[in-house]
Amino acid sequence: MAKTSYTFRLSEEQQATLTRILREGNYVPTQTPHTLVSVNADTCRVALYASGKCLVQGKGAEEFVSFVLEPLVLREVVVGYEEVLDPQASAPHMGVDESGKGDFFGPLVVAGAYVDESLVPAMRELDVKDSKKITSDKKLMQMARDLRKLLGRRYTLVVIGPEAYNRLYDQMKNLNRMLAWGHARAIENLLQVVPSCPRAVSDQFGSKQQVKNALMRAGRRITLEQRHRAESDIAVAAASVLARASFLFALNRLEEQYKVPFPKGASTAVREAAAALVKREGATVLGRTAKCHFRTVDAVLTEQGLDRSALAAATAAVTDC
């Protein structure tokens, strides 16, 4: 299935080259807000925005990219490069990724997504990519809905809420051990649906042996592959989108429950939100809403004249995941 939408970020030199091609070529100029130039080609639309973003859309988008953008503007191959550089990209495998580990509020979510030759083209049609490259939460949530519909049962989510997260961290004392445990659970869960899946790909976050040790009998035959920038693998990218969407959903649920904003990340705004929440609900609220090994907890409690003993009631009350 040919892809019908491409987006590129062009350098100033590339913008000048594309502008000249579109203005001098046999294209029909169009009026599109915020563009330097936009045209209708025979079977696609091309828009070069003032930001440097180039958008090519339509059933002839792949042809335009292959015969105009690649040789004349980009000076590199884009269409089909995944299969050339990595023949295994479309082979059956699962990708595993997590979201929330750098966010003070909300859960840690580990997702697994399965791909094969039949699913990869459809994922590329959806423009699936690393969730960190999707700047709009609305767009990310829609992509996650499309992915869930496409995959059916061939994905899994391991959601470790704040209370369970804090209990596990107290036991394990190490984030990489928690990640290994979560990745192993995601792999095991997905193998229940696709038991023939031969390998699992994830980002490099620690010793691969930690994940192997956390796998149970069903998962110990699978090949584990950890690599830097694993999100370039489409299965890992899909997992990152599903994990982030689940994290955002959980954060929204906390906002509905407490009727206050829960900012993402671990910024000054997060600290201020945590301080306001503790002032209103008491220190134990952090055990129910936040990852309590973050230094933010100490800063907030100190501001309130408290210490970590104030959290004991919350963490001790959690007895299981």
Q: Final residue of a domain: which of 58, 79, 100?
A: 79
Do residue 113 and residue 230 come from a single domain? yes
- Is 313 strand, coil or helix? helix
Give the tens place of pLDDT for each residue, 188-242. 999 999 999 999 999 887 767 888 787 866 667 889 999 888 888 999 999 999 9
Does the residue 93 lie in any domain? yes
The angle, 0 to 180 degrees and rounded to 10, between the axes of the packed helices 295-303 and 268-281 is 50
What mean pLDDT is predicted for residues 94-98? 96
pLDDT-derived band at 35 (thresholds 50, 70, 90) equals: very high
Which has the closest alpha carbon to 101: 144, 132, 146, 140? 132
68 and 131 housed in the same domain: no
Sequence-ordered list of residues with C-beta below 8 angstroms from that of 174, at least 6 positions apart, any chain: none
247 & 116 share domain: yes
Per-residue pLDDT, 5: 86
Angle of helix 162-172 relative to helix 175-191, nearest 10 degrees, comes to 120
Say what the pTM is. 0.74
Whether residues 134 and 241 share a domain: the answer is yes
- Rounded mean pLDDT of the chain? 89
Backbone angles phi, psi at 6, to 5 degrees: -130, 140
pLDDT, one tens digit per residue, over 237-261 is 999 999 999 999 999 999 999 999 9
Domain contains 174: yes
| Dist CA 148 CA 127 (whole Å) | 14
Domain-embedded: residue 321: no
Residues 32, 129: one domain? no
What pLDDT is attached to residue 320?
38
Count of structural domains within the chain: 3
CA angle 24, 41, 36 (to 5 degrees): 60
Q: Which two tokens stand for residue 220?
A: 């110990």
Domain boundary residue among 48, 79, 110?
79
Q: What are phi and psi of 104, to 5 degrees?
A: -65, -50
pLDDT value of residue 321 = 37
Task: Return the CA Rg of the chain.
Answer: 23
HEC assignment per residue over 120-142 = HHHHHHCCCCCHHHCCCHHHHHH
Instruction: Write out pLDDT tens, residues 99-111.
Output: 999 999 999 999 9
Element (H, E) at 294: none
Q: Which domain holds residue 24?
A: 5-79
**Tens digits of residue pLDDT in 130-189:** 999 898 999 999 999 999 999 999 999 999 999 999 999 999 989 999 999 999 999 999
SS3 of residue 109 by DSSP: strand
At 267-292, the pLDDT tens digits run 999 999 999 999 999 999 999 999 99
Among 18, 48, 79, where does a domain finish? 79
